[in-house]
Amino acid sequence: MNVFLSPEMGHIALIIGSCLAFVQALLPLAGSYTGTVRWMQMGRSLACGNLFFVFLAFLCLSNAFLSDDFTVRYVAQNSNTLLPIYFKFSAVWSAHEGSLLLWVLILSMWTAAVALFGSRLPLQFLSRTLAILGLISVGFGFFLLFTSNPFERTFPLPPIDGQDLNPLLQDIALILHPPLLYFGYVGLAVPFAFAISALLESRFDSAWANWSRPWTIASWCFLTIGIFLGSWWAYYELGWGGWWFWDPVENASLMPWLVTTALIHSLIASEQRGVFRSWTILLAIFAFSLSLLGTFLVRSGVLTSVHAFASDPERGIYILLFLSIVVGSTLALFAIRGPVLMSTSSYSGTSRETFLLINNLILTVAVAVVLLGTLYPLISDAFGLGKISVGPPYFNFFFVPLTFVLLIFIPLAMRSSWGNVSTKAVSSWLMQPLLLSLLLGLIGSTTLAYWVGEKGNSLLAIVTMTCVSWVFVMILKDFRDKIKSSSFTLLPVRYYGMVLAHLGVAITVLGAGLYAASGIQRDVKMGIGDYAVLGGYTFYFSDIKRDRRSNFSFTQAEIIVSKEDREIVTLNPEKRHYFSNPQTMTEAAIDPGLLRDLYVSLGEPLDDDHWAIRLHVKPFVRCIWLGGAMISLGGLLAVLDKRYRRRKICSQDRANLSVQSASEI
Amino acid sequence: MRIILFAPLMVFFAIAILLWSALEREPGKLPSALIGKPFPEFSLTKLSAHNQYLSAEDLSGALALINVWATWCYACKLEHPYLQKLASNGIKIIGINYKDNRKAAIAWLERLGNPYSVIIFDEEGSLGLDIGVSGAPETFLIDKQGIILHRRVGILDQKVWEKEFSHYYSDSWE
């Protein structure tokens, strides 16, 4: 077993996998131009072969971690014999080399999925798509092999024990966060490859949009879960109580998410009405480009970041070069082929097309804001103004109002109809919900003010509640109307998905807005027997103890929280000292609740019997992640819709047709 | 109309060139235009007292690190234990609390310990602008006369210290 899964075997498997990807990039593409059906058909088996070998390489690296093989340098740098077994496994993707291998593995998985589920696609289109995915795989495979080989051994003297996994990463959410995020990032390669194939064939009908949609939504779902999981991790692990920090690496995941959100909506319009075609293609290109840019920012270290665990400018050069070639040539192709994508059908005034366009514009502006803010230190530096970073105030200033405007338009797009709609028809169903949501907003903020004090009456709280009520009122009204004219079971699954996802967005905004408006915190000095009061809760410091677990020792406080003489919960915040690392980690203790979180983190000892303690009361903070879960679930329902499994028969004819036309070329 | 279609390509190349130039500059080791020049003049309050003013003269007198930090900066928290260690070895560290909240900053130090001999409270980021701060954390080294000798962007740890800072200190001890 061990000989079979040795690091050398992994290295060889990776080389074979990359070679297969290379063939996959050339042969089907050549076949699609010469009309050689056999070459085109090879794309699918090559994709599966590539997955087999890359997976083997990944197994070999995992095996090296699980068997504590410290002769492998990457293992020695990121693992340790004391590490619990599940962290040994997650340590595989904890640093640059391994996470890149995971990246390549996931790309192979998506490619194989396209090969397997893409049987309804015309052969020529499928083979070109697979070739482009192969090309991306080659780029990253070579990057891995030449600059960041995870299988390198240390000779002659391997260390007796490893350096241990970064304590920040020793957490359950961090086992899942990177793979999920990568599934999202890398999955965007599929709509990207679809867009290139469409440009190559100048084919851009509603069938194309229909093919692209499930892949786009699926990767968007992964991205959503990944981002929200990361934010949840940051919330409880970093010990600050915040949930989003506008860190460059967070922004790097937010930008593709925003673009993909726009893409999903633009694809709908393209499929249903044949509009926004150039725009849809462009979004598909940008979504993947931004995920490559994210990889570049994380890996090159051009921006200092929380997440800069493994950065190296030389690797940055490779990624940048790759990015330039891939994106540059795609955009050039877009510039040349673009005109044939001009849309045909018309729409006007207050139609769904208009509202989707507005939503798309808002999302695009949001991306531009985030991109500018993220790259600003580099821009100002290039113009000789020094490296100035903009920080959270800038992002909040632009992003928060944009979010509210977006919320206002979301239900409008859902309620309106396609085509030519008069303004009058819209305003007739607008007034009632508008007044109702204003009323709900005021009632809500008054209630909040009664509950958490005057902060509940702030402008932010009122605007948040009004906008959120607006989305809820409109969506529920729409739902009621739909049920009246149809029935529960007759409504398509994707409709439920849409409702759930948009309500999720509203819930997330509700959580974020109310948390920002009315969250309170206090830093106090406490010893045994002390108590502090915050937001009506009494925090009683009852005990402190020291102990150890397998790879760290810890100090744990016991804090009893009560309200109006009723004991609510006992919280145990911790401070951990990892044996292999001088870093101290804070483990906050949280009493979660839908309406409020109580959050306590233990700071440094101030003297022999007193500690610095941070207390938070955070109303509605859970809603942020609840909304995130709803958004992802909504996306999942949309992917499962049977609409994407139709059209097999007609595409079969098209396959024959396009093979013929290919041979004519 | 055709020209518009080239716009995305142009924007992309502008960004690519920008990123390229950023890589050339070697992140983290920014040669500041200020190196070899005296620390710029300023008049800002102490973090601990809003009525006590500090100026550039207060910084000179000994070889010292000037560390830009803030409570909103996560990397500063990671850097902090190492600063504590330096301070306990007798290295003088002056803090610039950058674009921060006074109360929060004081609480932060109470919680994590205070390695700074004195802290300049730069609420507006005006001093940060003068010395070209890119973000926190960032560390400058000044000599006895208050001349800037070195600048480091990002976390200062053992490795960086040995590579970029320690030789200044061994020189001065000789």
Indicate whether A594 belongs to any domain: yes
Which of A343-357, A614-628, B28-42: highest mean pLDDT? A614-628
Question: How many CB atoms lie under 10 A from the CB of residue A371?
Answer: 19
What is the spatial distance between Cα B84 and Cα B158, in angstroms, rounded to a whole number?
12
* Per-residue CA distances from A64 to A59, A90, A352 (Å): 9, 12, 55
CA geometry: angle A399, A502, A269, nearest 5 deg: 90
Residue A458 in this model has a pLDDT that exceeds 70 = yes
Q: What is the dihedral of CA A434, A439, A444, A446, to 10 degrees?
A: 140
- Residue B98 structural domain: 30-173
Task: Give the pLDDT band of residue B60 (cuts 50, 70, 90).
Answer: confident
For residues A436-442, average pLDDT: 91
Distance CA B167, CA A407 (A): 57
Residue A151 domain-assigned (yes or no): yes
Please indicate whether, in this complex, the C-beta atoms of A382 and B110 are within 8 angstroms of each other.
no
Least Cα separation, residue A550 to chain B (angstroms): 23
Q: Give residue-wise pLDDT tens across range B65-102.
A: 999 888 877 678 778 888 988 888 888 899 999 888 88
Instruction: Check whether A266 has a pLDDT greater than 80.
Output: yes
- For B112, which of A332, A334, A603 is closest by C-beta distance? A603
Is B81 an interface residue toward A (CB < 8 Å)? yes
Domain that holds residue A552: 520-620
A 269-288: CB under 8 A from B? 278, 282, 285-286
Cβ pair A304:B27 closer than 8 A: yes
Inter-chain CB proximity A304 and B75 less than 8 Å: yes
pLDDT of A339 > 80? The answer is: no
**What is the nearest CA distance from A58 to chain B, expressed in angstroms?**
30
* SS3 of residue B27 by DSSP: coil
Of B12, B110, B134, the CB nearest to A331: B12
Give the best residue of B35, B134, B140 to mutate against chain A (max A CB count within 10 A): B134
Q: Is A389 within 8 Å of B28 when comparing Cβ atoms?
A: no
The whole-angstrom separation of Cα A634 and Cα A637 is: 5
Identify whether A416 is part of a domain: no
pLDDT at A290: 93
> Taking CB atoms and an 8 Å limit, are A331 and B30 in contact across chains?
no
Nearest chain A Cα to B27, which residue?
A302
Asked if residue B150 is part of any domain, the answer here is yes
* Residue with the larger pLDDT of the pair B37 and A289: A289
> Looking at residue A387, what is its pLDDT?
58
pLDDT (mean) for B119-127: 84
- Any idea which of A2-6, A468-472, A513-517 has the lowest mean pLDDT? A2-6
Select from A504, A482, A2, A537 the least CA-distant residue to A220: A504
Mark which residues 312-331 of A lie under 8 Å from B by CB: 313, 316-317, 320, 323-324, 327-328, 331
Question: What's the pLDDT at A454?
Answer: 66
How do residues A566-613 score in pLDDT, each as one tens digit?
888 999 998 888 776 666 777 888 998 888 889 898 877 777 788 888
Percent of chain A with pLDDT over 90: 40
pLDDT beyond 90 at A312: no
A450 versus A557: which is more confidently predicted? Answer: A557
Specify whether the CB–CB gap between A636 and A221 falls below 8 A.
yes
- Give the tokens for residue B48: 């601990």
User: Could you say which of B9, B28, B33 has the minimum Cβ distance to residue A332?
Assistant: B9
Instruction: Give the pLDDT band (50/70/90) at residue A486.
Output: confident
Query: For A328-343, what is the mean pLDDT?
Result: 78
Portion 9-48 of B in contact with A at CB < 8 A: 9, 12-13, 15-16, 18-23, 25-28, 30, 32-33
Question: pLDDT by residue (tens digit) across A512-554?
Answer: 998 888 888 888 888 888 888 888 889 999 888 888 887 788 8
A7 to each of A17, A45, A56, A134, A179, how far by Cα in Å?
A: 15, 26, 10, 24, 22
Q: Position of tokens 């105030």?
A: A393
In a domain, B19, yes or no: no
A492 — phi, psi (to 5°)?
-65, 155
Q: What is the pLDDT averaged over residues B160-171?
A: 80
pLDDT at position A14 over 50 = yes
List the single residue in A with minimal CA-CA distance to B29. A302
Q: Of A511, A568, A515, which is closest to residue A537 (Cα–Cα)?
A: A568
Q: What is the pLDDT of residue B100?
A: 82
Gap between the Cα atoms of A232 and B45, Å rounded: 37
Task: Tell me, yes or no, whether B15 lies in a domain.
Answer: no
| Interchain CB contact of A296 with B (< 8 Å) | yes
Instruction: Flag whether residue A607 sits within 8 Å of chain B, measured between CB atoms.
Output: no
Say which residues have a Cβ less than 8 Å from residue A497's Cβ, sequence separation at least 6. Answer: A633, A634, A635, A636, A637, A638, A639, A640, A641
A530 domain-assigned: yes
The whole-angstrom separation of Cα B110 and Cα B95 is 15
- Tally of structural domains, chain A: 2
Residue B6: in which H helix or E strand, if any? helix B2-24
The pLDDT of residue A299: 67
B1 touches chain A (CB under 8 A): yes
Q: Is A601 on the interface with B (CB under 8 A)?
A: no
Is residue A603 less than 8 Å (CB to CB) from chain B?
Answer: yes
Q: Residue A116 has what pLDDT?
A: 92
Please tell me whether residue A139 adopts helix, strand or coil conformation: helix
Q: Determine the pLDDT at residue B61.
A: 80
Do residues B150 and B165 touch, judged by C-beta distance below 8 A? yes
- Please check the confidence at residue A306 and state whether its pLDDT lies above 80: no
Which of chain B's residues have a Cβ under 8 Å away from the Cβ of A614? 107, 111
For A87-116, the pLDDT digits (tens) are 899 889 888 889 889 999 999 999 999 999
Greatest mean pLDDT among A43-47, B150-154, B162-166 lies in A43-47
Phi-psi region of B110 (alpha: psi -120 to 50; beta: other; left: phi over 0): alpha
Looking at per-residue confidence, does B46 or A378 come out higher?
A: B46
Is it true that the peptide bond before B40 is cis, omega within 30 degrees of 0?
Answer: no
Task: Give CA–CA dist A406/A371, Å, rounded.
Answer: 18
Tell whether B153 is within 8 A of chain A (Cβ).
Answer: yes
- Inter-chain CB proximity B23 and A375 less than 8 Å: no
Q: Are A215 and A118 in contact (CB under 8 A)?
A: no
Q: Which tokens in the block code for residue B147?
A: 């001349």
- Give SS3 for A531: strand
Q: Per the structure block, which two tokens stand in for B11? A: 């924007």
Contact assignment for B111 to A382 by CB distance below 8 Å = no
- Among B16, B28, B19, B34, which residue's Cα sits nearest to residue B146? B34
d(CA A299, CA A515): 33
| Selection from A182, A169, A42 nearest residue A104 by Cα | A182
Tell me the two tokens of residue A111: 């490619």
Does the residue A535 lie in any domain? yes
- Whole-number CA gyration radius for chain B: 19
Task: Write down the pLDDT at residue A455.
Answer: 66
How much is the pLDDT for A661? 37
Q: Which is more confidently placed, A382 or A176?
A: A176
Does residue A259 contact residue A227 with C-beta atoms inside 8 Å?
no
Contact across the interface for A335 and B78, Cβ inside 8 Å: no
Domains in chain B: how many in total?
1
* Predicted complex ipTM: 0.77
pLDDT, average across residues B151-164: 81
| B-chain residues near A285 (CB < 8 A) | 8
Task: Give per-residue pLDDT as tens, A51-74.
Answer: 999 999 999 999 999 998 888 888
CA A13 – CA A63 distance, rounded (Å)? 14
- E strands, chain B, in order: 43-45, 53-55, 64-69, 93-98, 118-122, 138-142, 148-153
Among B8, B99, B129, select the one facing A334 at the smallest CB separation.
Answer: B8
B135 with A393: CB under 8 angstroms? no
Confidence of residue A652 (pLDDT cuts 50, 70, 90): very low
Dihedral sign from CA coordinates of A439, A440, A446, A447: positive
The torsion region of residue B2 among left (phi > 0), alpha (psi -120 to 50) and beta comes to alpha
* pLDDT above 80: residue A297: no
The answer to whether residue B6 sits within a structural domain is: no
User: Closest-CA residue in chain B for A282?
Assistant: B8
Helices (H) and strands (E) in chain A, counts: 20, 12
Please report whether residue A209 resides in a domain. Answer: no
Answer yes or no: is A415 within a domain: no
Q: Residues B97, B105: contact at Cβ < 8 Å? A: yes
Q: What does the block give as tokens for A59?
A: 């197994």
**Residue found by looking up tokens 């959050």 in the block:** A599
Rounded to a whole number of angstroms, the distance from the CA of B174 to the nearest CA of chain A is 31
CB–CB of B112 and A523 under 8 A? no
pTM score of the predicted model: 0.80
A389 and B72 in contact by Cβ < 8 A? no
Q: What percent of chain B has pLDDT over 70?
A: 89
* CB-CB neighbors (< 8 A) of A308 in chain B: 154
**Residues on chain A touching B76 (C-beta within 8 angstroms):** none
CB spacing of B132 vs A386 below 8 angstroms? yes
Kindly determine whether residue B26 and residue A301, on different chains, have CB atoms separated by under 8 Å.
no
Cβ neighbours for A231, distance < 8 A, ≥ 6 positions apart: A243, A244, A250, A624, A625, A628
Whether B3 maps to a domain, the answer reads no
Which amino acid makes up residue A306? V
> Nearest by CB to A282, which of B8, B129, B132?
B8
Q: Does residue B61 lie in a domain region?
A: yes
pLDDT tens for each residue of B24-42: 665 444 555 677 778 888 8
The CATH number given to whatever domain includes residue B115 is 3.40.30.10
Q: Which of B11, B25, B74 to mutate to test the interface with A (most CBs of A within 10 A)?
A: B74
CB of A553 within 8 A of CB of B138?
no
The three-state (H, E, C) secondary structure of A339-400, written as one string: HHHCCCCCCEECCHHHHHHHHHHHHHHHHHHHHHHHHHHHHHHHCCCCCCCCHHHHHHHHHH
Instruction: Return the structure tokens found at A185.
Output: 């990032």
Q: Give the per-residue pLDDT at B159.
A: 78
Chain B interface includes A567 (CB < 8 A): no
User: What does the mean pLDDT of chain A come to?
Assistant: 85
Contact criterion met (CB below 8 Å) for A536 and A466: no
Whether A664 is in a domain gets the answer: no
Provide mean pLDDT across the span A122-134.
94
> Best interface-test mutation with A: which of B111, B124, B158 has the largest number of A CBs within 10 A?
B111
Query: Does any domain span residue B11?
Result: no
Q: Which residues of A touch B33 (CB under 8 A)?
A: 386
